[in-house]
Amino acid sequence: MLSHIVRPMVQTQVRLLANSRATRSVLISTVAQWLSFLGVHAQVEHLRATNGKIHLCLTVDKPEACDTCDWQKIVGNLGSCTADYSPFPDLAQFTTYQQSTLQRLLAYLIQVGSPDQPILWDTLQPQLKAIGFDEPTLLGVRSALKVPQSLDDLVDGLDADVAAIALPKAVSLAMMDRQVNQSEDQALAALLKAMKHESTC
Give the pLDDT confidence of 39-64 residue by residue, as tens digits: 788 888 889 999 999 898 989 888 87
Classify residue 157: in a domain, yes or no.
yes
**pTM greater than 0.95 (yes/no):** no
pLDDT-based confidence at 112, cuts 50/70/90?
A: very high
Across the chain, mean pLDDT equals 82
pLDDT of residue 198: 44
Q: Tell me if residue 60 falls in helix, strand or coil.
A: strand
**167 and 102 part of one domain:** yes
Domains identified in the chain, total number = 2
Q: How far is CA 141 from each of CA 106, 133, 162, 188, rounded to the nearest angstrom?
A: 7, 10, 15, 18
Final residue of a structural domain among 16, 41, 60:
60
Residue 177 lies inside a defined structural domain of this protein: yes
Per-residue pLDDT at 8: 67
Alpha carbons 51 and 45: distance in angstroms, whole number = 20
Which residues, 6 or more positions from 115, have their beta carbon under 8 angstroms from its beta carbon? Answer: 183
The pLDDT value given to residue 145: 93
Kindly state whether residues 97 and 21 are assigned to the same domain. no
Q: What is the pLDDT of residue 92?
A: 63
Residue 81 in domain: no
Q: Which domain holds residue 153?
A: 91-195
Tell me whether residue 138 is in a domain: yes
- In the chain, the percentage of residues whose pLDDT exceeds 90 is 20
Positive/negative CA dihedral, 6, 7, 8, 14: positive
